[in-house]
Chain A
């Protein structure tokens, strides 16, 4: 089966009284006053979106089982000043022009929110300006093979960012700022414009489709929904050819067998 899946990470907790800065598995039930926990890491430090201990997390890191194959082809991040880096096992996806992934400040920080913004919904007064579509990896998607552990790092980069937003009550531009180093209750006026978020879209191939995906990878062919379908069609066509040939051979053999009652 092939299924287009989404993982959405959100750096928001139900309320100021939430005991931890993270919640496990499903997105938590938010109160009327959701809370953006203090970003205690340094501005350059990464937070892992699946098990990083900040925002909506999973129990265990993302892992591709023996009968799965994953093709990540879309990535978005918010706020604009933040960025996101993908990783598989011990390798980072986005690298520097010299081929390295390390910089003097740490890792290569991947794709920024300016490049690939996951546009949030606005509040009752402020809404973000227009944004561009997600960072599309359709031409060169990230393949994650069976047995791999994978994930994404979120970098805040700027703990006190400003953002130009539209004030919908006056229809004018406005500059808003936030301090991520401290916790922030989300005001209704701002809506989601400050909630840190990462959006990952991927195709999950499982069962026989994952075997086809792996076969295509072995043959250095692109793995897409269309190419897996085409490969499946080819298998069926070849099976039909084999069946037809076998039937003809059987018919020939039958002709050579003398009839018992004639």
Chain B
């Protein structure tokens, strides 16, 4: 029974990839940042450098994930820079896009209803800085329910420079970051219950619902009357909040502060 805020950082260090005998992704090849053959999870463990995860993100029956934010390396043109002194490529922009996959559904699509590459690094950059473009805020969040498999797929759409003459210098040339809430145990059951009541799954809402369960100790909470009571309470609470425009919003409060 825990609620934790998790994050995962992926990086493509081509020099280390080649040292480990791993290939580089082809331009236009979409791959998983969790279990794909390219890149590495950024871990504070020297022995595990160059590795990604070994299993896809299949949600366990007592887990619930809310994907909150993600970003990737910004830029469109490759801006290739080589250092003739050391014969290395020292600058190259991947022109990457992030797509979220839930089971067999692609989250992002073009206006003509076919799968798109996803969200570009310019729309949702990582790392974020004061000059970054905060165009895209994931709202509503993405829910991943028990027994679903989720994945973050990345694609780089810039060709590589001549890597025979100018191999990549050491460093991270492309990175993807994803941040999510993980609800486990009884909290994941509460998430399911909130969805069935049409209430947004946020940390505040889950904690509120748990308080309602504790308050009703001894009562049979499987009755319709109890759910109606909670649903009405939530609605009244939201209505009360909307009457106080200066009060901070519970829904995506952390996101709104970035823009407001």
Contacts and interface: CB of A to CB of B under 8 A. Distances in A.
B139 interface: yes
Nearest to B95: A30
Contacts of B225: 244
A233 B198 contact: yes
B77 interface: yes
Nearest to B238: A230
A237 B158 CA distance: 51
A120 B76 contact: yes
Interface stretch (B11-19, B37-45, B227-235): B227-235
B76 A121 contact: yes
B63 to A, nearest CB: 21
A254 interface: no
B77 A192 contact: yes
Contacts of B134: 133
Nearest to B143: A1
Interface string B130-153: 010111111110000000000000
A85 interface: no
Greatest chain B CB density within 10 A among A119, A121, A186, A230 is at A121
Contacts, number: 158
Contacts of A191: 75-77, 79, 93
B200 interface: yes
Contact of A195 (B77, B108, B199): B77
B140 A192 contact: no
Interface residues of A, number: 64
Contact of B112 (A60, A195, A201, A234): A60
Interface stretch (A20-28, A91-99, A100-108, A172-180): A20-28
Greatest chain A CB density within 10 A among B116, B134, B137, B197 is at B116
Contacts of A29: 27-28, 157-159
Contacts of B74: 121
A12 B109 CA distance: 21
B198 A32 contact: no
A60 B113 CA distance: 10
B84 interface: no
Contacts of A199: 123, 135
Nearest to B100: A3
A214 interface: no
Given A2-B140, A63-B112, A119 B76 contact: no
28 contacts: A6-B135, A6-B136, A8-B120, A12-B76, A28-B157, A30-B76, A30-B158, A34-B76, A34-B78, A63-B112, A118-B122, A120-B76, A123-B79, A127-B131, A130-B131, A131-B133, A188-B77, A188-B79, A188-B81, A190-B77, A191-B79, A192-B77, A229-B198, A233-B235, A235-B198, A236-B197, A240-B228, A244-B228
Interface of B: 27-28, 74-81, 91, 93, 95, 97, 107-114, 116-117, 119-120, 122-123, 131, 133-140, 157-159, 161, 196-200, 224-225, 227-228, 231-232, 234-235, 238, 251, 259
